[in-house]
Amino acid sequence: MPIIPSLATRLLLAAALSACGTGIAFAQAQPQPESNQPNKSPPTKGRTIVRTATPAIEAERQAMGSQFRDTLGLAQADVAAQRLEQAVARLAPVTEYCDRLLASGRALVSVATASEYQSYMASRQDSEPVDWVDMACPQSYNILGYIAVEARNFEKALAYLDKAVGLATLWADPRVERGFVLNQLHRNSEALADYRLALQLIDRYQSNAGMKAIALRGLGYTLVELGDLQAAEQAYQDSLVVEPGNDLAQRELQYIQDRRNQARP
């Protein structure tokens, strides 16, 4: 059974990223050795780490769900302090409200900036009005997905992340987290699609910029699992352009080289 490092460990590993992106940041865990394959990176790479920074959202305070921003901040602090049950309880009224919105049948979207909202509207093929939902909703679903992974309940995590992705279609973070979860469920081809789409969003929207190296490492891991070592190697090398000297990426590149050496006659 793969080992997922403790929440506290991953929070410490994420500290260097705490000023990047919006809402929830992600960092890959340090590799854990496997007894039968000492160089094989575990499925934990690409795993998300919750950050407690308050998102810099340009949306009007009147955005639907904006009244829960303070509650979200308290829940993020709960997660940072490993008070996971308290975070779940705190987010219950938030997700109850957000679930009602999703069930309303209204056209909804959550975005980080006004320009993202305009971009989303421009991409639509119809003129139907779309309500702007505060990022508190998808961020709450994302936190709950993270907590479900801590409990190794990957199906439950996936359900939360699907809601986050459905609302915040331009936000890369839940797609990166979902890629990790799908890999845990051995649905590697689906994980590959999520990582690739996340990278498209990262390149297009500045609010996602802090996710690029992490998404590339998750992509690299997925490609290794799918047996495409050449593409995996390129993904890890690309991640090092963004984060030079990253230990995890360097270890992965060494693992790929070791596999190639072992395959030689």
Instruction: Answer whether 52's CB lies under 8 Å from 76's CB.
Output: yes
Helices (H), the chain: 7-14, 69-80, 84-103, 114-123, 136-150, 154-167, 173-184, 188-204, 212-225, 229-242, 247-263
Give the CA-trace dihedral at 58, 103, 26, 33, to 10 degrees: 180
Torsion over CA: 82, 9, 159, 178 (sign):
positive
**What is the Cβ-side half-sphere exposure of residue 256, based on CA atoms within 13 angstroms?**
24
Nearby residues of 91 by Cβ (< 8 Å), 6 or more positions away: 71, 72, 75, 140, 143, 144
Residue 111: is it exposed, middle or buried by C-beta count within 10 angstroms (0-12/13-18/19+)?
Answer: buried
Domain ranges of the chain: 7-260
Q: What is the pLDDT of residues 194-204, one digit of tens each?
A: 999 999 999 99
| 172: nearest Cα among 146, 145, 138 | 138
Helix (H, G, I), strand (E, B), or coil: what is residue 44? coil
Q: What average pLDDT does the segment 29-41 reach?
A: 32
Residue 4 has pLDDT above 80, yes or no: no
CB 160 within 8 A of CB 128: no
**Nearest of 140, 47, 62, 144 to residue 98 by alpha carbon:** 140
Q: Residue 234 class from Cβ within 10 Å (0-12 exposed, 13-18 middle, 19+ buried)?
A: middle
Whether domain 7-260 has CATH 3.30.565.10: the reply is no
* Averaged pLDDT for residues 4-19: 31
| Section 155-162 average pLDDT | 98
C-alpha of 174 from chain center: 4
For tokens 């290794």, the residue is 224
CA angle 160, 8, 94 (to 5 degrees): 30
User: Would you say residue 127 has pLDDT above 70?
Assistant: yes
Per-residue pLDDT at 51: 38
**pLDDT confidence band for 38 (50 / 70 / 90):** very low
pLDDT at 27 over 60: no
Asked if the model's pLDDT at residue 114 lies above 60, the reply is yes
Local confidence band at 219 (pLDDT 50, 70, 90 cut-offs) = very high
For the segment 139-150, the average pLDDT, to the nearest whole number, is 96
For the chain, strand residue ranges (E) read: 108-109, 131-132
Kindly state the average pLDDT of the residues 157-167. 98
Average pLDDT over residues 49-75: 68
- Residue 82 pLDDT grade (very low, low, confident, very high; cuts 50, 70, 90): very high
Name the range with the highest mean pLDDT among 11-25, 37-51, 119-133, 165-179. 165-179
pLDDT more than 90, % of the chain: 69
Dihedral (Cα; 153, 219, 30, 135), 10-degree rounding: -60
- The pair phi, psi for residue 150, each rounded to 5°, is -55, -35
62 — pLDDT class (breaks 50, 70, 90): low
Name residue 219's amino acid.
Answer: L
Pair of tokens at residue 164: 């986050």
Sign of CA dihedral 84, 86, 91, 92: positive
